[in-house]
Amino acid sequence: MLLWVGLGNPGAEHARNRHNIGFMALDAIAARYGFAPWRNRFRGLLAEGVVGGRKVLALKPQTWMNLSGESVQAAMAFFRLPLDAVTVFHDELDLAAGKVRVKKGGGNAGHNGLRSITQHCGGPDFWRVRLGIGHPGEKERVTAHVLGDFAKSDREWVETLLDRIAEAAPLLAEGRPDQFMNKMAGGTSVVPPAPPA
């Protein structure tokens, strides 16, 4: 059994924020593979399904980003899951918009959701699917960028990216992260529009 966690903030006003791309990725996966309806559990929304022949629990913590670990820890404890059964889908400032990387463990790079999971769940050695949202260029603009909505001009590449994540998800479930990244890197190009000068 695998626990796939999408990071974001609850509430309709945050639904299109760049910070919520983790929620969006899980929604795309759950829709593609016919997961059971979302229900309130573990201070989050939980849906169950099968991807790549593996049972997957999809969890969207509803605790606010900086307390995400409380929800994840509760689910891990209930299902008696080890940390390496957990994969977290999250936004990544340090990746160009539309890029995807997978890694196990590592630092939190200032991401409050990752920090909370590390603190509550026994360390950093969970899997991360890093979803690039790009950097605004100046440190002072980071908060507004992360908590801002994707622009209308972003919609096409974001939807393409989410669709390709869902399509490639069985490779993650099968424990083949390198093939997942290869599949994400190939095929239809995901190229965001150039930022305004």
The neighbour count for residue 189, using CB atoms within 10 Å, is 9
Strand partners, 186: none
Out of 19, 90, 111, 145, the active site residue is 19
Task: Note if 145 is an active site residue.
Answer: no
Indicate which residues carry an active-site annotation.
19
